[in-house]
Amino acid sequence: MKTNDVKSDVNAHSKNTPQNVSVRRKKSVEDIYKALKPKAKEYRQPTDIAGLYCRVQPNGKKSWQYRYKNDQGKWAWIGLGAYPTVNYVQAREKAEGMLNGTLEIKTQAEIKKIKLQDKDALFSTLMNEWLERKKLTWKAETYRKEKQSIEKHLLSVFGDREYATITSREWLNHYTEKQINEGIFNRIEKLISYCYGAYSLAKFKKDLLYNPLEGIRDHLAKGETESMKHVKIHELPEMISLIRNSSSRPVAIGLELLIHMFPRPGELRQARWEQFDFVEAVWIRPPSMMKRGIEHGIPLSQHVMNLLIELKEISPESEYLFPSRDNINKPISNLTFNAALNRLGYRGKQNPHGFRHIASTNLNKNFSSKSQVIESALSHLKGGVKGAYDKEAHLEERYEIMEWWSNYIESLLKH
């Protein structure tokens, strides 16, 4: 026999091995379902596996379906995927698994329900549900900023975890690392509060047995935040002297008003002349300006009145006390007062918000029996306490305290 004849016989034999026959058989079966043509009505083409069919719709779309008896003993259909995304071999494996009981049969409704339950168990779902409730009480801008913070510091780490599986140790480690690496003490306080609130919601809605944030503050470091940086009271005269000699008189007046009235810096920055009653000597801050959305009045001391009169004379015509240089119809930037303090050499030593801390500390020291009055002066209104601009908000007593505070500050400058 010639060499070429031998090679030809060997090749012929190799083509008929069981493996190759099986491949050809599978290819031919795939071709059968590929070749199925649509009809006027949909139909199901049976396969060589009991219960497995190829469904052909009038529009030509094909899919695999498995026929089985459900829990009620009735025949039902379950989809196994569209063809050709799921090919015959894959559909056959699923059908065989259901036939011999190794693969659990789940309807689309059951699968959807499981997916919803799985999603419902995620920390991101819980936190977003809690956030939705805050829309009722938070201002739009507050909601936007806090949601952004939650996404950055919490959801980026724990969002895809089941909230019930996140341990107290994990939360402690997470916040401890944030304190060490980022030093955001005030922000961490808020984030802990938000987490605690979300888990409390879970306890009521989802029968969670315990809150993993319980007692966590006892094991975290306490630190002064950047926004509350402040000098000691005996250092205030030197600062005021520098402020009064600074180049921008309107900004200097603004800083002095922060010292004497100790409002939140954003409230003074957005203050409008229409809010000031010079006859009654009071600044009436509307609900839209206040953190808790409650109208609140600040009594004006004589020194503050003098500063406001001077400011009115030197400021351009604007509804704002402190209009922007670029547009008098807008207030100054939220960085203006802080930048002014930095230029005076108080970077990292005094922040505009820190004047509230100075006032709170020293007023409580000198009026220890009037803590509620001082809290009202700081607009720290507790739930259930009426905080509107009226006598019940300790307004008359606050007139006395505000006048005393201005006189006390001025007396420090004389020593």
What pLDDT does 54 receive?
92
State yes or no: pLDDT of 249 exceeds 60: yes
What pLDDT does 24 receive?
46
Q: What average pLDDT score do residues 124-146 get?
A: 90
Residue 81 three-state SS:
strand
pLDDT in tens, 174-220: 998 888 777 677 788 889 999 999 998 988 877 678 899 988 988 88
- Give the integer Cα–Cα distance in Å for 62 and 55: 5
pLDDT in tens, 2-30: 334 433 443 433 344 434 434 444 456 77
% pLDDT > 90, the chain: 41
Query: Contact, 323 vs 316, CB < 8 A?
Result: yes
Better-scored residue on pLDDT, 390 or 335: 335
What pLDDT does 328 receive?
92
Q: In this structure, what CATH number is given to the domain that contains residue 94?
A: 3.30.160.390
Shared-domain flag, residues 382 and 294:
yes
Q: Which residue, of 200, 223, 246, is where some domain finishes?
A: 223
Shared-domain flag, residues 85 and 128:
no
What's the distance, CA 219 to chain centroid? 24
State yes or no: pLDDT of 224 exceeds 90: no
% pLDDT > 70, the chain: 82
Shared-domain flag, residues 44 and 157:
no
- Give the integer Cα–Cα distance in Å for 151 and 216: 21
- Give the integer Cα–Cα distance in Å for 51 and 64: 10
Quote the crossing angle between the two packed helices 185-206 and 123-134, to the nearest 10°.
100
In a domain, 241, yes or no: yes
Shared-domain flag, residues 249 and 202:
no
What pLDDT does 375 receive?
83
Shared-domain flag, residues 332 and 352:
yes
- Give the integer Cα–Cα distance in Å for 284 and 118: 50
Question: Considering only 107-116, 119-128, 323-332, 392-401, which range has the smallest mean pLDDT?
Answer: 107-116
- How high does pLDDT run on average in the chain? 82
What pLDDT does 255 receive?
97
Helix extents (H) in 207-248:
236-244
Shared-domain flag, residues 246 and 391:
yes
Query: Contact, 292 vs 384, CB < 8 A?
Result: no
- Give the integer Cα–Cα distance in Å for 7 and 308: 108
In a domain, 379, yes or no: yes
Q: What average pLDDT score do residues 282-292 get?
A: 81
Q: Which residue, of 101, 129, 158, is where some domain finishes?
A: 101
Q: What average pLDDT score do residues 120-141 get?
A: 88
Ramachandran region, residue 358 (left: φ > 0; alpha: ψ -120 to 50; beta: rest):
alpha
Shared-domain flag, residues 393 and 245:
yes
State yes or no: pLDDT of 1 exceeds 50: no
Q: What average pLDDT score do residues 255-277 get?
A: 94
Q: What average pLDDT score do residues 73-85 get?
A: 85
What pLDDT does 234 receive?
92
Show the domain range for 179. Answer: 120-223
The contacts found for 51-59 with CB under 8 angstroms, 24 or more apart, are 51/95, 51/98, 51/99, 52/80, 52/91, 52/92, 52/95, 54/83, 54/91
State yes or no: pLDDT of 154 exceeds 90: yes
Give 219's Cβ-side CA count (13 Å radius): 14
Q: What average pLDDT score do residues 91-111 get?
A: 71
What residues pair up with 410 in beta bridges, in sequence order?
A: none
Q: In this structure, what CATH number is given to the domain that contains residue 138?
A: 1.10.150.130
In a domain, 18, yes or no: no
State yes or no: pLDDT of 355 exceeds 90: yes
In a domain, 109, yes or no: no
From residue 362, alpha-carbon distances to 232, 239, 325, 405, 414 in Å are 10, 17, 35, 9, 18
DSSP code of 155? Answer: I
What does the DSSP assignment read for 95-125? HHHHHHTSS----HHHHHHHHHHHHHTBHHH
Shared-domain flag, residues 253 and 354:
yes
Question: Considering only 79-93, 237-251, 366-380, 389-403, which range has the smallest mean pLDDT?
Answer: 389-403
Better-scored residue on pLDDT, 226 or 35: 35
Query: Contact, 185 vs 224, CB < 8 A?
Result: yes
Shared-domain flag, residues 90 and 147:
no
In a domain, 200, yes or no: yes
What pLDDT does 225 receive?
53
What pLDDT does 96 receive?
86
Better-scored residue on pLDDT, 365 or 304: 304
Shared-domain flag, residues 289 and 336:
yes
What pLDDT does 312 receive?
95
What pLDDT does 393 receive?
59
Where b means 16+ CB within 10 Å and e means fewer, 127-165 reads bbebbeeeeeebeeeeeeebbeebeebbbeebbeeebee
Q: What average pLDDT score do residues 90-112 get?
A: 71
- Counting the structural domains of the chain, the total is 3
Q: Which residue, of 195, 223, 251, is where some domain finishes?
A: 223
Query: Contact, 27 vs 89, CB < 8 A?
Result: no
Give 415's Cβ-side CA count (13 Å radius): 11
State yes or no: pLDDT of 322 exceeds 90: yes
Whole-prediction pTM value? 0.51
What pLDDT does 3 receive?
37
What pLDDT does 318 receive?
94
